[in-house]
Amino acid sequence: MDRSKLYRRFRTLLIANRGEIACRVIRTARAMGLRTVAVYSEADREAMHVALADEAVLLGPARARDSYLNVERLIGAARKTGAEAVHPGYGFLSENAEFAQACFDAGLVFVGPTAAMMTAMGSKSGSKALMEKAGVPLVPGYHGEAQDDATLAKAAEKVGFPILVKASAGGGGRGMRIVRSVDELAPAIVSAKREAKAAFGDDRMLIEKYVDNPRHIEVQIVGDSHGNLLSLFERECTLQRRHQKVIEEAPSPTLNAAQRETVCAAARKAAGAVNYVGAGTIEFVSDGKDVFFIEMNTRLQVEHPVTELITGIDLVEWQLRVAFGEALPLKQDQIKLNGHAVEARVYAENPTKNFMPSVGKISTWRLPAETGGLRIDAGYREGDAVSPYYDAMLAKMIAWAPTREVAIERLNRGLEESDVRGIVSNIPFLSALMTHPKVRANAIDTGFIERELAVLTQAPPAPGELELCAAVAAVINNERQAAQADANSPWQTFGWMPVGRRQRNFTFRVGHGPEQKVVLNYGSGPSTLVIGERELAFAIAPRDGGFDLTLDGVKSSVAAVIDGHELYLRTRNGRFDLHWVDPFGGETEEQAGADKIAAPLPGTVVAVLAEEGAKLEKGAPILTLEVMKMEQTLRAPYAGVLKSIKCKVGDIVQEGIELAVVEPSGE
């Protein structure tokens, strides 16, 4: 293959992706003087990456298969805009050898490895065979071509339970199931194949021994077209949920210097087996003593910023320079490790409802400034819509410090100062994770989050005196701000009441809990708030995103968001959602049936797991939806008879649509 066609200088780069990674690539490309082209679907017309690029091309409808996964339309977008190169980001087609080859055939530079390298290393099965020949240690398992049920079952029996059933293509935990007994194997394979086919267009599976108390360690490597291949230290990604990484850090706090060199040397050996060119990651699993190769990701990883912060190297810049045909600017001994970095993935999801994705419009987007070792890679802004069609990651927050302890503190402070409203985010969950003593002590494995889920998702404390006073202050502050546009508004005078009263009553509650009352006294002398028998002098000083509240001489900073009668507050005690009871009545309660079997989000019915007329136990599976590329199984809310199913496989259903009816058994 002619290297001048593979690697050459270009001026216009098309980013075949969306969200945070598209924004990340655009920023570095523009800093290097390149012209950038974004692509988007109907759902992403107003997206942040579209606004950042120099040009943007509509690919098609919202569904990824009709837009971001459509190779012909992506190549067409490059031709329309005069783009000479394509950066695939991660996810979507980033590890698709056919796409890499299609770019080459169209005369485009693909910013990544060749199709042949991708085929050799991007397939979990193929890469394991290659590593076996190269002498890289492997987890015991099956990675053969035969994919029939009998072969997979026989392989599982030979390896011994528990095992992992894993998609050969792709990553991110999709198409992966832990199987602990032979009875679980067949349904796990069916589900994993279906999910892998939907996410990656490839349902080939491999069987792997499940390592007890595993730790996930990976090494960043970069190769150029001149034969140079470097490792940029390792990352630890042990904090996972359902095989999806939640927190990543670099370097690994588990390895000592000798172990670090051993695993990095193994990674260079693995990548060297295919003379790898571009950025990639060699992934390992450790049982506490030994380290085993599990796969290679032939692309940039979501967690690459932690490596950038400890090395001072912009990996996207290096990707582009390699694609230009340049040699890597440093030698192995010139790459120095400096400090520690920790990254948290901020998702639109509800941890208290089994991490159900959250869709809707972002009404409030407040993240701290990128100072003091804090970095934020975001793909959304205030006013943007989170759709149900794609991965729900909103942003990544990364903190650097000289030590792991300080890096964790900086990251947690950044999370505590973040407020995202309109959709539900996992920010409180991430903060709970960062403050968990076992995380700080590095006493974790990949099953840690599942074991500690009840602690990590426990309900916030009940609002106390500070929060009730802050709620009153939030209402008053909001009224003042609304009045600023009207010079004649009586609300410009603090505490004004239409009949000249010098007292105002407020009532709040949390959810459907008991009402709590606060009385505001104002007029001559200092204003006070009365809660029960306590009377406190108070004052408000507005500031961006909230106000400073002084109670009996103690000043506290409060973040506040008001949407109608719903109040969100962040005080020194945590985050609180309160309802301001309408002082003029008219309160209505939504009678949402908890027993209704309805689509939690827009999605596609991919499996019907029970028949009409069947007797069901509470929790029995009824049907499976594909939502945001992940499968969600809807279950019977109580014991009874499945009276009807109102959908079929392949149906695209909207949020709230009733999908099945269970008639209670009456027991």
Domain boundaries, the chain: 3-111, 140-209, 215-456, 465-580, 597-664
* pLDDT recorded at residue 174: 81
Fold of 597-664: OB fold (Dihydrolipoamide Acetyltransferase, E2P) (2.40.50)
Nearest to 220 by CA among 185, 268, 164, 277: 268
Nearest to 347 by CA among 285, 433, 281: 433
CA dist., res. 226 & res. 277, Å (int): 9
Which amino acid is present at 541? A
Could you please report the per-residue DSSP string of 346-384?
Answer: EESEEGGGTTEE--EE--EEE---S-TTEEEEES--TTP
CA dist., res. 654 & res. 548, Å (int): 43
**Top CATH class, 465-580:** alpha beta
Q: What is the CATH number of domain 3-111?
A: 3.40.50.20
Q: What is the pTM of this model?
A: 0.81
- Superfamily name with CATH number, domain 140-209: ATP-grasp fold, A domain (3.30.1490.20)
* pLDDT recorded at residue 528: 93
Q: Residue 417: in which H helix or E strand, if any?
A: none
* pLDDT recorded at residue 584: 65
- Summarize pLDDT for 82-137 with one digit per residue, the tens: 999 999 999 999 999 999 999 999 999 999 999 999 988 866 667 777 888 878 88
Environment class of residue 275 by beta-carbon count within 10 Å: exposed (0-12), middle (13-18) or buried (19+)?
middle
CA dihedral for 48, 51, 54, 59, sign (positive or negative):
positive
Strand 141-142 and strand 205-209: the pairing is antiparallel
The catalytic site residues sit at 299
CA dist., res. 605 & res. 602, Å (int): 10
Q: Which two tokens stand for residue 654?
A: 């909207």
Reduced to 3 DSSP states, what percent helix, strand and coil does the chain have, rounded to the nearest 5?
Answer: 30, 30, 40
* pLDDT recorded at residue 350: 93
SS3 557: strand
- Ranges of the chain whose pLDDT falls below 70: 1-4, 122-125, 170-172, 485-501, 584-595, 628-629, 666-667
* pLDDT recorded at residue 107: 97
- Summarize pLDDT for 380-434 with one digit per residue, the tens: 999 999 998 999 999 999 999 999 999 999 999 999 999 999 999 999 999 999 9
My answer on whether omega of the bond before 542 falls inside 30° of 0, hence cis, is no
Between the CA of residue 493 and those of 227, 386, 486, what are the distances in Å? 74, 40, 12
Domains 465-580 and 597-664 share a fold: no
Backbone dihedral region for residue 312 (phi beyond 0: left; psi -120 to 50: alpha; all else: beta) = left
Do you know the residue count of the chain? 667
CA dist., res. 205 & res. 219, Å (int): 24
CA dist., res. 67 & res. 81, Å (int): 17
Between the CA of residue 336 and those of 4, 310, 408, what are the distances in Å? 32, 8, 21
Fold of 215-456: D-amino Acid Aminotransferase; Chain A, domain 1 (3.30.470)
